[in-house]
Homo-oligomer: A and B are copies of this chain.
């Protein structure tokens, strides 16, 4: 799945930065103008805009210019893709633990039955 892989590369890369995560945290509560978004961050606007670009390239946000105001909004689809990737691996891990537990139960039952027949 090269396309899926590339999408996940971009999404996880976008999430790997505290500024970009803070922007997402703001945008999941509703669309915001770039200038309002930038206010809480002590960084030069060009640096901030680069972070927005990474988020937009990953598909996690969209921006739209209306007159002189550029507004950013959250796009849920790509974040869901990342969440599903993680959830699937957690399910596989749970399956591994379950199999390990069953195997251990079998071993213990076997030992008990061996002990009973032996004593």
- A residues within 8 Å of B by Cβ? 5, 8-10, 12-13, 15-18, 21, 24-25, 28-30, 74, 76, 79-80, 82-83, 85-87, 89-90, 92-93, 95-96
- Point out the residue from B13, B25, B80, B87 that lies within 8 Å of A92, measured CB to CB: B25
Copies assembled:
2
- Point out the residue from B5, B10, B24, B93 that lies within 8 Å of A28, measured CB to CB: B93
- CA–CA, A24 and B96, complex, Å: 13
Contacts of A87 on B, CB cut-off 8 Å?
83
Q: List 24 A-B contacts (CB under 8 A).
A: A5-B21, A8-B21, A9-B16, A9-B17, A9-B18, A10-B16, A12-B12, A12-B13, A12-B16, A15-B86, A21-B85, A24-B89, A25-B89, A25-B92, A28-B89, A28-B92, A28-B93, A74-B93, A76-B90, A76-B93, A80-B90, A82-B86, A83-B86, A83-B87
